[in-house]
Amino acid sequence: MQKRTHYEVLGVERNAHPTQIKSQHRRLAKQYHPDLNPGDPKASQQFREVQAAYDVLSDQDKRRRYDETLRPEPVDSFESFHENVRSYRSYEARPGTGTRRAARPVNRPHQPRAAYSNYTVFLSLQELFRGARRTLTVGQTYTCGRCRGTGKIDFMTCKRCGGYGFLVSYHNQDIVIPPGLQPDMQIRIDLNQGQTEDDILDAPIRTNVSVTVKLDDSGPFEMRDNQIYTTTLVPAELLETGGSWTIPDPLGDEFTFTIPPHTLSGTTLKLRKHGLRLGASSRRGHLFCTVLAANLAHTTSEVKDKE
């Protein structure tokens, strides 16, 4: 039986990036560690093989000498062979001297390429006003080197990318959503933000993605035509005599407003400067509050229940 290569032991491809090799080693070492598998000689043997493979592949010089002893990897065509060679050499690149496509993806896509450039986040009214932070799982896309983005090789579907013409590598991206946005607005997020020269090997080809902001309307407030609406139940005596009434503020606090005397149930009052922030300015829009007589509301609900 032919002995497994170090790449096969770690379960990675011949052109795998060092970060992928490190990740696989960490996972397998934990799986087969003798302390977690007491009395299992097979697990101990696999643990030693994993350690030996990582010792070679984690060192650039050892890996180069080891690769020279291996037989050439079978390829589909002459062109794809040269593409694999370029991909393999890319892990040796240094910041500022080589390609940015060193972090090779390992996942097949499951949707069109444009879908990996567009994401949606749901925010509450408070987060729309104050801004928010989110962590997105972003898919970086890379043109498939085997079919050169065509999705086919010799009129057959490319097995590496499944016919899509590209591959995907996922990572978590922290994003900052600025305050003052309106629902359905889009913002562009720079994927290279905060990146230094030391990690340029892991930089994505695409420099930004589009994030659409949606409103989570599960609260007591509703957005209509970029205005905020809410409804509150008020004692009928207060509507007749007028007075102060307190309701929740869209920002999570409470505020008190004045109900004029002889206000009819169902009247909508305009509460100035209690809406959302208008863009990047400090000005706020308005909140429209519909007041309903508490006893009338109960009577209406009871009639509907009887019907």
Q: Tell me the per-residue pLDDT of 244-273, one tens digit each, with 9 for 90 and over.
A: 999 988 777 888 999 999 999 999 999 988
Same domain, 162 and 186: yes
In a domain, 107, yes or no: no
Same domain, 233 and 178: no
Q: Decide: helix, strand or coil at residue 85.
A: helix
Same domain, 230 and 274: yes
In a domain, 106, yes or no: no
Task: Round to whole Å and give the CA distance between 134 and 120.
Answer: 11
Q: Give yes or no for residue 297 having a pLDDT over 90.
A: no
Same domain, 207 and 250: no
Task: Round to whole Å and give the CA distance between 167 and 17.
Answer: 15
* End residue of a domain, out of 215, 247, 281: 215
Entry pTM = 0.50
DSSP single-letter state for residue 107: B
CATH of residue 299: 2.60.260.20
For residues 105-110, average pLDDT: 76
Residue 218: the pLDDT is 64
In a domain, 187, yes or no: yes
Token pair in block for residue 153: 């090789």
Question: Among the residues of the chain, which ranges form H helices?
Answer: 6-10, 18-32, 41-57, 60-68, 78-89, 125-130, 236-241, 294-306
Greater confidence (234 vs 223) lies with 234
In a domain, 90, yes or no: no
pLDDT tens for each residue of 46-63 = 888 999 999 999 888 888
Greater confidence (33 vs 106) lies with 33
138 neighbors 209 (Cβ within 8 angstroms): yes
For residues 80-107, average pLDDT: 44
In a domain, 188, yes or no: yes
Name, in order, each residue with C-beta under 8 angstroms of 298's C-beta and a sequence gap of 6 or more: none
Same domain, 195 and 258: no
Same domain, 286 and 227: yes
How many folded domains does the chain comprise?
3
Can you give the residue range of the structural domain that contains 58? Answer: 6-73
Greater confidence (153 vs 84) lies with 153
In a domain, 169, yes or no: yes
pLDDT tens for each residue of 146-204 = 898 899 998 899 988 989 998 888 888 888 888 878 788 888 887 665 444 444 334 44
Same domain, 199 and 239: no
Residues 6-34 as b/e (b if ≥16 CB within 10 A, e otherwise) read bbebbebbebbbbebbeebbeebeeebee
In a domain, 1, yes or no: no
Residue 11: the pLDDT is 87
User: Within 10 Å of residue 89's Cβ, how many Cβ atoms?
Assistant: 13
173 neighbors 194 (Cβ within 8 angstroms): no
Same domain, 185 and 270: no
